Structure 1
Amino acid sequence: MNSTEIFLSLLQHNKRSFEELQWPNSDTFEVVVGAILVQNTTWKNTQKALSNLNNANLLSLDVIADLDIALLADLIKPSGFYNTKAKRLYGLIKAIKKDFDDFENFRQNVTREWLLGIKGIGPETCDAILCYACGRAEMVVDAYALRILNALDYEFESYDEAKEWLGSLDFDKVYKSTGLFDELGVFRLYHSLIMEFCKDYSKGKKLDHDVVKLHFGY
């Protein structure tokens, strides 16, 4: 079974509109913050932390850059590991200000290598920022994707190897099935379909392998 077949099977399973599957406030600075806050926690907890920042009118690059780090940590407490995440977020924002000055310049000119050089940003967080905040066609490989691949008996030696395999789609088939006509839209949809499938069929952090194999006809 190849990646295109997995994508099309997930698409067939999906019962939600493409709009419902989108990362909230894509292409904005909020995504950068959310990508840090969602590390090692649920999206529900991340949303609580983002709401705290939003309600305090703090969801902007310039404002957080001047914010007391203890206050930042307190506001993002619902996301867990809040002291560590506050330091990571503060460090990233200071680096953005130093090298790009503002979010739009960062969005247009940041590279994967630059992001991976920031403390606390690994490949998954990096690609989430590039894909959802910067509009780059990068496939995000998260724990959900690895659960599906593991259930289908696929093993990869590295994040980049799994990313390359998942991103190797027959785009003509995918475009025909989705009505989408750009790689960015497809990768965003693919990532969302994976998450929704795993939410439907996971118990805790475990995915029912028999259900997966039955669904994918594997």
Structure 2
Amino acid sequence: MTPSTAEHPQMSVEDFEELARHAPETVTLEFINGKLEVKPVPDGDHVTIFMWLLRQCMRHRPELDLHPEQGLKVGAYRKGRARPDGSLGPVGHFAGGGEWADPVGVLMVVEVTSHDSGTDRRDRIEKRDGHAQAEIPVHLLIDRDANALVVHSDPQEGRYAQTVSHPYGATVELPDPVGITLETERLKNYAL
């Protein structure tokens, strides 16, 4: 049996979108590298970390919105469908974009790791690569297993050319076009 890849997907994008439209609210479905993925429901610390970041973004860049769970067309030729924990873009950017928006104009995506067996592959590799292929300038991974913020930037040829890891407590400069400085001391409250 051939493994599912972007070249040999489990199903068509149209079939995935139909399936996702009818999924119960207790699960979030994604279509990454031609494979159906089930994203776990976030726990309390996951949501609290996202809200911390949302407040930081609003304070520093009020002309931008950090949209939770906005579906994006990602991957090679936009054949994937991902729901990053957050997508940063201009206020009103996603208006009229539907459930699966084009990533053009998104400045940053955010992933906060979950505590499940698929988080390593999904959050640290596959979604990062899909966001790079979609040429999203910054991919911020808040890695709860490593107690670190990993900033991926400068997408080139489907990969991020720059990767910098910062421990919780560090001052983190998110590169342009984001241009936000994060004081991460508070994240130590949610360290494992």
TM-score, normalised via structure 1 length:
0.26
More strand, by proportion: 2
Q: Which has the larger radius of gyration?
A: 1
Determine which structure has greater relative contact order: mean sequence separation of CA pairs < 8 Å that are 6+ residues apart, divided by chain length: 1
More helix, by proportion: 1
